[in-house]
Structure 1
Amino acid sequence: MPTYHYRCKNCEYDFTERQSFDDDPITVCPECGQEQVRKIYSAVPIEFKGSGFYRTDGASKSKSE
């Protein structure tokens, strides 16, 4: 199950919640009770592992080049 990061616009309370893809987003703040919660989106880090990601890992050059 993915973890989502939320923040309340009213009291600025930050929290994370594990939810299924089928669950509705949280809209009510557990701290102040206001309906001001928004999901926070952030960049996902990408890590390239294995061969094929470097210039030297490409196809071998022919002798005519």
Structure 2
Amino acid sequence: MPTYVYKNLETGELYEIKQSMRDDALTQHPETGAAIKRVLSAPGIAFRGSGFYVTDSRPREASEGGSKGSSQGSGSE
């Protein structure tokens, strides 16, 4: 169940509330009844570096090894 960040419209205080993705955004705090609004925030995960694309998952040794082998063979003759 995801955690959403809500902001109290009167005080500016931030709340983290767990609710289903299917639920509508809350307009009142469940405990205090204060007016709140859902705040957009950064995602909890960020994919950085290599290895996250289809082309990065292929073994590099096979593609580099073939070209190295042919260049080494022609250089020794």
Taking structure 2 as the reference length, the TM-score comes to 0.52
Where is the helix percentage greater, Structure 1 or Structure 2?
A: 2
Greater relative contact order, per chain length (Cα 8 Å cut-off, separation 6+):
1
Taking structure 1 as the reference length, the TM-score comes to 0.59
Q: Which aligned runs of 4 or more in structure 1 are off by greater than 3 angstroms?
A: 29-32
Percent identical pairs in the alignment equals 32
* Match in the other structure for 1:28: 28
Paired residues, number: 60
Instruction: Structure 2 unaligned segments of length 5 or more: list them.
Output: 53-57, 72-77
Asked whether the 8 Å contact 2:5–2:41 carries over to 1, the reply is no
- Please provide the CA RMSD for this pair: 3.4
3-state SS of 2:6 partner? strand
